[in-house]
């Protein structure tokens, strides 16, 4: 078998050449993977060095670094709270610990996409959502709905040819707002055709709950009763429905004074307004301010997390920035809360609007109930109806007799409260959101001023490095140099 081996392959020199060729080929095949691994290590080491920052030789270098860092932080806060400019999206990470400023995510399995989208919104968008919710809550308050027909309101229903009105509760309002359905309050009114088209129907297989309201084909409205029974509700034109002011009689009795109750008492009016403010306005206002504080705090923490990456090298700097940002935010929130509190306190203790505005509104509404009753009884909505003098007199006697039996003081108080409520409600709808938005616009400016007041001595202290940090920076620098040397060597061989 050795006869086939030629002279060039015999001997140690030939073996040395052959092995050198094999080794060179192996090196050529392995170099791309080795260079790729070295490139990866270089990038990782360079990232660690970048995260640690630079070395400051003078106070000027420290000041430049701090000013650039402050500008980036304040710029992100301003962008989020104003909604102007690019929004920084939070980065996801595979590691559990992402820094001291990270908020612990909810562990609830019911978290939805809507919640994730809400959390990704900027501060301005979140505050707009909170203000919209605040608007709906205030618009549903007592002062805003005293004489409005809303679901659940206690009302009085008039009908032609009847001197008395039927008390009931609104259970359905048409989307067009031209009619409403009213359920009885007094058991004696369960059979009246003023409220019902038909009663006591029996369902073969009831699939409704008691007091549940539904429509079959859009023409008839039903309400469920116990025992599988249900009634058909009448569609009542809203012109025949007015709010029942009797509940105000109880409210007024709580705030009686020693004055003769033949006129509306100013102190009684103020007490009722103060009671409404405490029950209906203060909670939504406090809720909106609490939401503002959460938005400001999370916005500041997000900016700190994104831009303060020196916790291992300059922990004192991180603590100082965190302290300044949180102190400024807290002081700003205390000012906002104080302004909201002062506004609500003034609304409670000194209800006021321009006399002419209030009186004009009262004059327009003073006899609206009487006018509606007269139009209904005289059937002015129907053409061709003619009454003789005696019939008109009978109708007038019936209408005025009904109004003489009503609680005049409660009706007058309802009138005054409803007219005043239109003005006061608009005030609170604007005032608290204005305070919140002013806080958002002010925070970046105050942050910039407070950070700019940091002295060089404080910066020198905060940018002091521990021996461990210095050693890490030195080791990473040497490692980076070694990797670059290896990469250059391989490239030269290639």
pLDDT, tens digit, 9 for 90 and up, residues 440-473: 999 999 999 999 999 999 988 888 766 777 788 7
pLDDT of residue 383: 72
pLDDT of residue 110: 45
| Mean per-residue pLDDT, 371-399 | 74
pLDDT of residue 300 exceeding 80: yes
pLDDT of residue 217: 73
Calculate the average pLDDT of the chain: 81
Compute how many other C-beta atoms are within 10 angstroms of the C-beta atom of residue 49: 16
pLDDT of residue 90 exceeding 60: no
Model confidence band, residue 54 (pLDDT cutoffs 50, 70, 90): low
pLDDT of residue 172 exceeding 70: yes
pLDDT of residue 285: 96
| Mean per-residue pLDDT, 19-35 | 84
pLDDT of residue 234: 92
In angstroms, the CA 424 to CA 420 distance is: 6
| Mean per-residue pLDDT, 189-208 | 89
Cα dihedral angle (104, 105, 108, 111), rounded to 10 degrees?
160
Supply 165's token pair: 């009105």
Q: Are 168 and 185 in contact (CB under 8 A)?
A: yes
Supply 339's token pair: 């302004």
| Mean per-residue pLDDT, 206-221 | 86
Give the predicted TM-score (pTM) of the model: 0.68
pLDDT of residue 1 exceeding 80: no
pLDDT of residue 282 exceeding 90: yes
Model confidence band, residue 15 (pLDDT cutoffs 50, 70, 90): confident
Give the dihedral sign, CA 213/216/220/225: negative
User: Which range, of 79-83, 247-251, 278-282, 470-474, averages the lowest pLDDT?
Assistant: 247-251
User: Which range, of 65-74, 276-285, 393-402, averages the lowest pLDDT?
Assistant: 393-402
pLDDT of residue 41 exceeding 60: yes
pLDDT of residue 22 exceeding 90: no
Model confidence band, residue 161 (pLDDT cutoffs 50, 70, 90): low
User: Which range, of 60-69, 130-139, 311-320, 330-339, averages the lowest pLDDT?
Assistant: 311-320
Supply 402's token pair: 């009904």
In angstroms, the CA 406 to CA 422 distance is: 24
User: Which range, of 55-69, 110-124, 165-179, 318-332, averages the lowest pLDDT?
Assistant: 110-124
Per cent of the chain over pLDDT 90 is: 33
Residues contacting residue 197 through CB under 8 Å, at least 6 positions apart: 220, 232, 233, 234
Q: Are 177 and 150 in contact (CB under 8 A)?
A: no
Residue 468: C-alpha distances to residues 99, 100, 314, 483 (Å): 20, 20, 11, 22
């Amino acid at each position: 078998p050795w006869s086939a081996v030629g002279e060039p392959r015999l001997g140690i020199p030939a073996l040395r050449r052959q092995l050198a060729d094999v080794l060179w080929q192996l090196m050529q095949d392995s170099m791309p993977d080795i260079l790729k691994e070295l490139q990866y290590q270089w990038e990782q080491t360079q990232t660690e060095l970048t995260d640690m920052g630079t070395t400051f030789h003078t106070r000027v270098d420290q000041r430049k670094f701090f000013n650039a860092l402050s500008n980036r932080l304040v710029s992100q806060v301003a962008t989020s709270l104003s909604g102007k400019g690019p929004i920084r999206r939070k980065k996801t990470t595979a590691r559990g610990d992402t820094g001291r400023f990270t908020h612990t995510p909810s562990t609830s399995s019911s978290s939805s996409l809507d919640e994730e989208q809400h959390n990704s919104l900027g501060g301005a968008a979140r505050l707009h959502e909170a203000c919209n919710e605040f608007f709906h809550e205030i618009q549903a308050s007592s002062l805003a709905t005293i004489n409005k027909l809303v679901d659940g309101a206690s009302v009085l229903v008039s009908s032609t040819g009847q001197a008395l009105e039927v008390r009931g509760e609104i259970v359905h309002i048409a989307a067009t707002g031209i009619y409403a359905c009213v359920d009885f309050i007094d058991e004696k009114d369960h059979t009246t055709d003023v409220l019902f088209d038909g009663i006591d129907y029996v369902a073969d297989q009831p699939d409704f709950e008691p007091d549940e309201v539904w429509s079959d084909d859009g023409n008839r409205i039903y309400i469920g009763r116990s025992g599988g029974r249900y009634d058909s509700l009448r569609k009542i034109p809203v012109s025949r429905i007015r709010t029942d002011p009797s509940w105000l009689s109880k409210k007024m009795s709580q705030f009686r004074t020693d004055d003769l109750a033949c006129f509306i008492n100013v102190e009684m009016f103020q007490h009722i307004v103060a009671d409404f403010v405490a029950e209906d306005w203060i909670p939504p206002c406090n809720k909106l301010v609490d939401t503002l504080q959460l938005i400001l705090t999370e916005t500041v923490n997000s900016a700190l997390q994104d831009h303060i990456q020196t916790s291992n090298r300059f922990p004192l700097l991180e603590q100082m920035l965190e302290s300044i940002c949180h102190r400024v935010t807290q002081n700003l929130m205390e000012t906002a809360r104080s302004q909201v509190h002062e506004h609500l306190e003034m609304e409670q203790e000194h209800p006021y609007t321009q006399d002419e505005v209030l009186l004009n509104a009262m004059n327009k509404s003073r006899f609206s109930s009487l006018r509606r009753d007269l139009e209904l009884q005289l059937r002015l909505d129907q053409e061709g109806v003619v009454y003789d003098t005696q019939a008109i007199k009978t109708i007038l006697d019936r209408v005025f007799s009904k109004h003489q039996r009503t609680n005049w003081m409660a009706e007058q108080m309802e009138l005054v409260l409803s007219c005043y409520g239109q003005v006061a409600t608009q005030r609170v709808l604007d005032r608290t959101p204005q305070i919140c938005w002013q806080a958002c616009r002010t925070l970046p400016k105050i942050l910039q001023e407070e950070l700019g007041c940091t002295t060089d001595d404080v910066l020198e202290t905060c940018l002091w490095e521990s021996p461990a940090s210095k050693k890490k920076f030195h080791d990473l620098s040497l490692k980076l140099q070694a990797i670059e040397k290896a990469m250059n060597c391989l490239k030269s061989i290639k």
